[in-house]
Structure 1
């Protein structure tokens, strides 16, 4: 006995998501409150039970989209408007008309109640591409699929700082703050109970022993409670760092707002920007920081500013912390002064990271006197010419987490 042929399915090969979104858009314009959840329910229902007739399609859409009895009249009116006096719904891929300039075929929908009736305002019968064997070009149905491209921010992250405008820099700065999720940690003085701890909690163990005749049957262990490690960032805003100054301010603001970090800018003298960059408005924070730094785009004295930081009361913030220096290494101070300042900084800091915008260039070698003198005291020399480099530099903070 020959097997029965399967019943034809409406919208075979149709993009169900495009169909559902377009139909829901028509319902919303008619005043029906339909959310994303209902739209997803319709897409899943069409996938689970493909409609074999217009009646089945009606009930599938009605059960998925209508939540209140008062909305039935609006739904029936829109469904009738969409599917009455239109060409038959495609039963197979061959029933789809040839492509138009929009790479999708639209069924014209007559307007009601003053609704526009311009061509192309119907629901899209966008079909999926046919599956063809490798090297077989006969199955091409003429449908052009959109090329997948990276997001705008992902593309801009690889653009050099000097090619970005202020809105793009601000948007990438927000993405940079969102990427700063983890923070380096250090061993704290407080302890908490932990079965994997190496230290015996004497008080808790003795308290348990009171229940067993002062026999320590149960040994309670504890481990130190980790605390966030302080991060201190110093940014070079001299003339040689003019192109990178705005982007580095966004990194400094990320440190200042996400966690308890101290940030400084320096050219010929040191300026603390922690308070200014913690402003809730990114644009206002950058403007206040630019007003506070009145020696920017001038000369550079890296060694003198490092010594000034260590000699000030903010120098205690460096003790046991992670110090990030963003500079190209051009320094008007002698290399001997840089060696002295970095020696003091190395004794006090936990780790030292140096961000150099020229470190990522091919064939880069730190031949500048200041950079060459500071390099032996640095744990990492990282490139920082794009926002992608800055995001990668954030991952190196995790090397300082408590293990």
Structure 2
């Protein structure tokens, strides 16, 4: 282990001299900063030039605009400076006799050798040099594993990365907004007088309503129904959409379905405690995945099923690219029925985020006039944004989403 640079040296005197040099260069370092610098040197004695640089910079620099002046002074003080001879044996402690340190020359100019370091404005990463410990090594800033995958398409991710993104989706859907029901419950914060409860209390006081009982409307979570396309054209997004459906199935108790040529209910399967096991069971349950697409037929099957009432007053989320083998007239008819039943209809299209996107497919052009929102869902970041919008906007009482402008029905 290399000896500390400033062992056996008066750290307070060194800090005061270095801070005075910074003040002359325009860096506003005060007494508090000097005290912090001395304490930092005492807690963590610098054993390399890089450690000393960062200790001084963190303690003495408070503004980004002062970084250039600080680097210039630091380089002028320490660049090409010969080490001092060992300190006097009669003054220095016995354990510090063979220590070396870098001096602060009294006649060193701030604009001397080493001024204008290349990392003054935009610090690049300096490779680690095991041979020399005098070069300043700046840390390389790298994004986290999750942030690095946010903008990558789903077809470029492996199974482990998709699972990690699924966990992030599960954490993003923290709570689901509620809706006001027609039922009322007794509450001291309510604005409405509970007539029956007030009369019952009045029986104890000679039918005089001495105590007024109040009630408020009972709120329930807004129902959510998710339908995701798992056909061949959605192969890259199928697994990621299953993780999205699981997040809403666990948090919002949503009804979730997967469809290609037939409709498959996955609500119970995707509520499994393990995300990997839930996605595996859901993939095994969908027997027609990576096949054709019949959007109109599957939406009609939902409306005629035993759970058709789940759509009434719910937020209906459809994840598909709009490729449909059914006639567009049938899709438009069933979307009109869904529009009358559902509270909101949100369509997630993995290709909607592409530059110059236009609903040129027959299915997407037919369904778009009946959707409240068309959101891109081609990357993990798109799914996070869509999940936040569904939580914060679609289920707020009194807030009406404007209908999208009807798009021309272009047959692709």
Q: Is the 8 A contact 2:225 2:315 kept in 1?
A: yes
Q: Give yes or no for the alignment of 1:268 onto 2:202.
A: no
Q: Give yes or no for the alignment of 1:329 onto 2:263.
A: no
Aligned twin of 1:299:
292
**Unaligned regions of 5+ residues in structure 1, if any?**
1-6, 14-45, 58-88, 91-95, 106-124
Aligned twin of 1:401:
395
Aligned twin of 1:121:
none
1:138 corresponds, among 72, 82, 98, to 72
Where do residues 116-195 of structure 1 align in structure 2 (5 Å cutoff)? 127-129=55-57, 131=61, 133=66, 135-136=68-69, 137-140=71-74, 143-194=136-187
1:379 corresponds, among 356, 372, 377, to 372
Distance 2:210 2:74 in 1: 76
Q: Evaluate the alpha carbon distance shift between residue 245 and residue 52 of structure 1 in structure 2; reply closer, same or farther with a 3 A threshold.
A: closer
Q: Evaluate the alpha carbon distance shift between residue 49 and residue 372 of structure 1 in structure 2; reply closer, same or farther with a 3 A threshold.
A: same
What do residues 321-354 of structure 1 show as CA deviations (whole Å, max 9, x unaligned)?
1111000001111111001111111122111110
Q: Evaluate the alpha carbon distance shift between residue 193 and residue 10 of structure 1 in structure 2; reply closer, same or farther with a 3 A threshold.
A: farther
Distance 2:251 2:186 in 1: 29
Distance 2:287 2:209 in 1: 66
Q: Is the 8 A contact 1:10 1:51 kept in 2?
A: no
Deviation at 1:301, TM superposition (A): 0.5
TM-score (normalised: structure 1)? 0.67
Distance 1:147 1:346 in 2: 52
Distance 2:74 2:348 in 1: 51
TM-score (normalised: structure 2)? 0.66
Distance 1:184 1:237 in 2: 28
Q: Evaluate the alpha carbon distance shift between residue 205 and residue 396 of structure 1 in structure 2; reply closer, same or farther with a 3 A threshold.
A: same
Q: Evaluate the alpha carbon distance shift between residue 270 and residue 52 of structure 1 in structure 2; reply closer, same or farther with a 3 A threshold.
A: closer
| Pairwise CA RMSD | 3.1
Q: Evaluate the alpha carbon distance shift between residue 218 and residue 242 of structure 1 in structure 2; reply closer, same or farther with a 3 A threshold.
A: same
